[in-house]
Amino acid sequence: MSKHAEQVLDTETVETLGSKLRGDALHPTDEGYDDARTIWNAMIDRYPAIIAQCAGTADVMTSLAFARDNDLEISVRGGGHNIAGNAVCDDGMMIDLSPMSSVRIDPERKIARVGPGATLADFDHEAQMFGLATPVGYNSTTGIAGLTLGGGFGWLSRKFGLTLDNLRAADVVTADVRLRHASEDENPDLFWGIRGGGGNFGIVTSFEFDLHEVGPEILSGVIVHPLEDASDRIHEYRELAADAPDEVTVWFVIRHAPPLPIIPEEWHGEKVLIFAAYYHGGLDEGERALEPFRDLGDPIADAIGPHQYAEWQGAFDPLLAPGARNYWKSHNFEEMTDGMISTFVEYAETIPTPHTEIAVAQLGGATNRVPVDATAYPHRDAEFLMNLHTRWEEPEQDEMCIEWARDLHEAMKPHATGGVYVNFIPEDVGEERAAYRENYERLTELKARYDPDNVFSMNQNVEPSA
């Protein structure tokens, strides 16, 4: 327990705020405080002076006003999945939106209204009742809020774009404690900024998304190859991916084989190359579209088949469970060069832990048909995105694991665009220019309008222009 956090605000002051909330206000001495401050990445161990667990927009506004009146640093928690741990601050106020997890589906208009505390699993559970979905991420415990504000990509993105490309509108509490509706018609500049600018401009209390007909049954699965074949298989994959229609999405991962039933037991723990494939459309068409990927080499396992969409969305959750220490590094690529492939294979030999993986997502398609200046998200040139999921258990392994990730990230720089995905940046500060690229200056002007005092600074921060 941080004694300093305990002393920033006395219990009586916290109770005074709590009496004004429909939710709860937690002091560091309160039961439930440690659970509330704990997030997905176990490397984050911070102690807010107060945690406001908000039940609705009124609670958010009341909590924000309290933080400003008491000159407290503010962090905002949605799903708590952010790798840098921006959901939690030391000695300030953590505004916890996780109780605000409602999802309301309008199946006739194909629209979803989603609370900022909802996870992808919450969203998919409701939308799939009507055979509907929108592009979201690939780990169902991720929060919809942070995902959307930074970009959001997954199995549907090549067909329907990023999560933020499917955002119709949002309600935003800005730094002046006003509730604003943001859409193409109302506060369009704010709407532009929250689509890729992260939490720099306010606290979103409601999202409205377009939905698309998806599933419930889809064709997906994994194909597993020995690591010794990885160079040949990735070279062949590169040619197939270049010609793939938008309905096809195939990612690859290099890691130690997890103990999954689909992988022969003798391969558990051995280093492998895994292709993860998805097809949007009918099963028969999908079989034909994915056949060339399945015909590559002599796989250890081929588990392509019909799945429920919501089950596929959570298929990799066991590999990304909370409680481990995590450090990520990412790059965007316009193409997959021979040098990239050889570097992937070289660093695969030194993967530091059984839980670490080199993951490469296939983007392109609809994600790149949006103009760079249409939203704050600038990376409309990326055909592939690398994420180094460096993951381990013991603090003694921190230096080794972080050094490995940074070394591989550096080795990949000559092949990359220079842009990075804001949701995958592990450090609190330092990569804002790479995250926002050519849209950065416009973001600073927007910041000056909506948050001139930089109240919302726990993010990949955009400082307000003079």
The string of pLDDT tens digits covering residues 131-161 is 999 999 999 999 999 999 999 999 999 999 9
Neighbours of 22 (CB within 10 A): 12
Residue 450 has pLDDT above 70, yes or no: yes
The predicted model scores a pTM of 0.94
**pLDDT band at 432; cut points 50, 70, 90:** confident
Q: What is the pLDDT of residue 336?
A: 94
pLDDT in tens, 14-34: 889 899 999 999 999 999 999
Q: What is the pLDDT of residue 103?
A: 98
Mean pLDDT of 242-247: 96
**Cβ neighbours for 100, distance < 8 A, ≥ 6 positions apart:** 54, 55, 56, 115, 116, 117, 118, 205
Residue 4 has pLDDT above 80, yes or no: no
Q: What is the pLDDT of residue 58?
A: 98
**pLDDT band at 2; cut points 50, 70, 90:** low
CATH 3.30.43.10 domain span(s) along the chain: 3-96
Q: What is the CATH number of domain 103-214?
A: 3.30.465.10
Mean pLDDT of 406-420: 95
Q: What is the pLDDT of residue 107?
A: 97
Mean pLDDT of 72-88: 95
Cα 138 to Cα 153, 278, 311: the distances in Å are 8, 12, 11
Range scoring the smallest mean pLDDT among 92-96, 188-192, 420-424: 420-424
Residue 226 has pLDDT above 90, yes or no: yes
Mean pLDDT of 260-281: 94
Mean pLDDT of 44-66: 97
CATH 3.40.462.20 domain span(s) along the chain: 217-424
Mean pLDDT of 277-305: 96
Cα 28 to Cα 47, 74, 85, 141: the distances in Å are 8, 16, 18, 26
Q: What is the pLDDT of residue 3?
A: 64
Residue 180 has pLDDT above 60, yes or no: yes
- Token readout for 307 is 């799945």
Q: What is the pLDDT of residue 429?
A: 66
pLDDT in tens, 355-390: 999 999 999 999 999 999 999 999 999 999 999 999
**pLDDT band at 1; cut points 50, 70, 90:** low
Q: What is the pLDDT of residue 280?
A: 97
Q: What is the pLDDT of residue 8?
A: 76
Mean pLDDT of 447-466: 93
Name the architecture of domain 3-96.
2-Layer Sandwich (3.30)
Range scoring the smallest mean pLDDT among 168-172, 223-227, 433-437: 433-437
Q: What is the pLDDT of residue 260?
A: 86
Mean pLDDT of 327-346: 95
Q: What is the CATH number of domain 217-424?
A: 3.40.462.20
What's the mean per-residue pLDDT of the chain?
95
**pLDDT band at 10; cut points 50, 70, 90:** confident
**pLDDT band at 9; cut points 50, 70, 90:** confident
Selected residue with higher pLDDT from 7 and 437: 437
